[in-house]
Structure 1
Amino acid sequence: MNLTKTEKITGIALATVLLLLTLSGSGYFFFTLKVTFVQWLAYNACSPSSLVYLACFIAFWLTKKTVWLPLAFLPMYYFGTMGLFTFTWSGANIFAQMSHITMTLNLIWTGYVLYRISDYKAFTQGLLWSIALFVPYIAFVMYYCRKHAEEINSLLQMTP
């Protein structure tokens, strides 16, 4: 795996911005909204997804194994990129949209690196593990949010 200096700097910069946004968003949920860990997992699913990506990003740098990069692809895409289309672009959601944009940019960087490295076997393995590990998490988030719709609406002040 030979990444150029620009590719390395871009990946590290994007990961750093994602980390800062994730910590800020998680702080808001834990300290301002005072949610429990389970509520955080469900109501702020972008943060756990981002933390998994960051852990995989670090594992990729330390082990030089390509299989780590696509491991967080599914939750980052589902909660990050798709969040661009499900959240409004006004009020407090602007901060959430900044996180979604950063998640998407990290995915674009990851996709570019995986394409350039051309390790399709590792990419496929990582993506299959991503599906196996995170489809249950996505199902949990959807179920929990549906069962606690009034609570999330009240907590996030989504109703007028």
Structure 2
Amino acid sequence: MTLVHCPSAKCQRGIAAIEFAFVFMALFFVIYGIATFGAVLYTQQIISRAAEDGARAVPMILSPPLATDDARIEATVRDSLAAALIAPVSANASPGSRRNWLADNTTVKTELTGASGGGPNTTAIVTVTYRYSANRLLPTLPVLDTSRWMPDNLLSRATVAIPS
């Protein structure tokens, strides 16, 4: 077998297309990875803000006294989540459908610690959990399985001292 030496540009035809294909695939996976991690960070920030909004609402709704898993705190958290862009397009037909979707896909817990009845050492801990694995903002690629890297649930807690 002999190698043919071809110094002309004719022999180099198609090389640029092959190089472009390799570079494009590598660049696409890098950009997709950045976008995927950005979507997770965005969603985590929304969950954190919702927990903080729930904690901020605690001092304002002390009458009647706050109870564990108070519906008023849950409503405040759901309102905060409804203002964000984490619900899919199919659930955005109306504010009610968005809130129903959020109620199915998030968990809100309020725990009271310290003295009971709003004593001086009482704190409220608002915990928000979002099922991210079931509701990813970006689809997964068959070639790149992101389920190994991404969390199943996103969780955030906010604590507030209840004024006496």
TM over 0.5: no
Compute the TM-score of the two structures, normalised by the length of structure 1. 0.28
Length-normalised TM-score, structure 2: 0.28
Query: Which structure carries more strand by proportion?
Result: 2
Higher helix residue share: 1
